[in-house]
Structure 1
Amino acid sequence: MLEIEKHEFEKTAIVGIVTQNQDEEKLREYLDELEFLTYTAGGEVVKRFSQKMDKPNPKTFVGTGKLDEINYYIKDNDIKTVIFDDELSPSQLKNITKELDCKVLDRTNLILDIFAQRAQTSYARTQVELAQCQYLLPRLTGMWTHLERQRGGIGMRGPGETEIETDRRIVRDRISLLKEKIKTIDKQMSVQRGNRGAMVRVALVGYTNVGKSTLMNAIGKSDVFVENKLFATLDTTVRKTVIKNLPFLLSDTVGFIRKLPTQLVESFKSTLDEVREADLLLHVVDISHPDFEDHISSVNDILKEIKSDNKPTIMVFNKIDAYNPVYFDYDNLEIEKEAKHYTLDEWKQTWMNKIGENNALFISATDKLNFEEFREKVYEAVREIHITRFPYNKFLYPEYKEAMDTE
């Protein structure tokens, strides 16, 4: 029991840099997210390091002086893991590990590790292992001695735990095998999707930890796993859902994140087929998060990458129960009102107003605030698609029955 608790709170330090393209405020946001990722993976961040640079040092990411500072701190405080906010090149990883003599991870490796924890089905585990092998292959040089010294904990799950896995030829063979396995499962899943008939398909999309699974449970009376951690849901869940008398298929997909590893986007493209084949997207947003506009942009970028950015979409601004604007001093004219000061009503008058009355909803999935309005608008959107597909369904659409009876 003590070992589990110790593992759940592995002491870590995180590192990021301020550059021309990333100011101090943006770095703080990314490090906040990196800390949450670390917590999700089972770590406790005890120290943050940052440095202003024009661009990352090609050899050690940060400057040598900053690296010495990190080294002194982790030795004095018995920290065994250092996590960098950006993806490290193979040479950077090798050089930093040699200098710090501890476990060194980057943001990509951390996210892959969380996916390895969360994958429940054989398909998801196969996709994660493929992404891990693709990440591992160019970093094999010197990797084994590092892994041998630091077994277990964050970043050590999945491939890379045995010496034989570090052989380049074997890893390449493993990648080929995993790709073939995914192709086989893809064909099976394609047949399954085809067997669902012409039912309208609705997909929940959004940033990780915005409440998609909670919303799915509330709509469809499902039992999808919910937890206040990033990537709580990894396997796509599809449920037949009925609002009023109208049935449709509702799917809960993996959450997106900024700086999402390219290996994951590639290996999870088949999982995202549920999004590609959806007739309607419910883009769920955590409006209580200070960076929710960046989250929207990140999700839209990935939707564009998988060619799903032009689908009918309803923006669902969730967690209004947790939204707390920063107090604004109206008497102090020197303070310029910023987005963090906006009330919900003020937000609705910004760019959100251009989305359209029927395409922007403000709800709380947990407290069921404005939930009937949400269900009604989803029903109307699904019904419109259903009418196009089945124009003379007299059971669902009484007006058509009356017209046919008149004839």
Structure 2
Amino acid sequence: MSYALEAKKRKFTRVLESLSKPLATSDGGAKPIKDPLMAARERLADATTSPSIKRVRVGEGIVDNLTTKTTVSRILRTTSSSTNLRPNFVPWDRERFLERLETFRPVTRWTSQPAPINEVEWAKRGWTCTDYMRVACVGGCGASIVVKLPEEVDDFEDLDSEKVQERKEVRQKVVEEYRKLLSDGHKETCLWRNKSCDATIHRLPITNTDTAINALRERYLKISKMRDQLPSNETIELPEQLSLEEIISQLPPNFPESEKGESSQETNTSGKEIDYRSFTFAFFGWDVVKDGSSGLLECRACFRRLGLWLYKPKEEGKEPVYDKLPVHTEHMDYCPWINGTAQSGTGTTTDKPENLLGGWQILAQGIRTKHRRRTKAATTSSESLAVDSDNLSLDSTATDEATQRAKDREWWSKLRRVREALHVKGPRKSVSGEK
């Protein structure tokens, strides 16, 4: 046996002996022998509960770096908190993207910027708004950028055309530099530097019509609870090509009570009248604010807020601040509820914007499609019942005829038997050759 192996065996034997060896007391006696495993547990417990103990002697060896109670508690706190932390680099997570986008909502922090460097582009690249016109990386690289553009050329109408054009070019160059900083502003080791969110990250989850109608139902129910704060029908403006009355007439029969899917919607009909104003706001993506503030609606895709009191007459009889509320154009320009490019997620300039549908248009198409299918299914069911009824009548007639024929055959059979019984045989004719 090798010397190294012999040495390890001796050390192991000494450790076992030290754990089971009686410990001397202050009066010269000896403590009773304990179970080795129990002794080891007690010594480890003493090491973690006594701040003054930093090392424990085991036999002839020394086990160093046993942590004190303070160190252990710090490690436990760090471990427990780190398990609750979410990863910062998740470019595929739409919820986290919307969280970053929402930080740009307060007007005290951010003002509108050109499309190449608007808040959506910063949020796609892992930036959040932390202070007035200041963005910071959520990935922990520590990068921070102050966004400041030259003033708009519209403020210099008294200047000649050359200076105006020069200022436009300068502003465009600054915008281009900030566009580069969307990625280059991160540090070299930051993952957001080389990867951003996909173009479809802002798309509304309304491709599944059942899911879209259920979400519409939830928004409607919440908004209808504050209908007394909504503007009048005359104040609300809709797109010219939309007939909201037609959309309401094509809703599932018991909208909005049912929450169990299309099957229950077809079997139960409540006949409850839909509140036009509440449905209008819900249909165009508006919802009550998360904090429950009174008189406010918000969009959960662009985080634009509507102060409903601005569109209602004041108590003193004064006119409202705004006499019209176009519910579709109050969204931010990049909102997928009205922006077909954002909803399609193509992100290309070859597609014509007029050919791409916004969120409310896709929702309207889905409601119409479900209505057509529901109507067709009902028509098909009625036709099937009619055909089954006709078949039943034909089957009944055919059965009656077959029964009559069977009775006729039985009657003729009886008649033949009677005739045979009554038939009298004549004299037997002689055959030639007989004598």
TM over 0.5, shorter chain: no
| Larger Cα-atom Rg | 2
TM-score normalised by the shorter chain: which range applies? under 0.3
Q: Which has the higher strand share?
A: 1
TM-score (normalised: structure 1)? 0.20
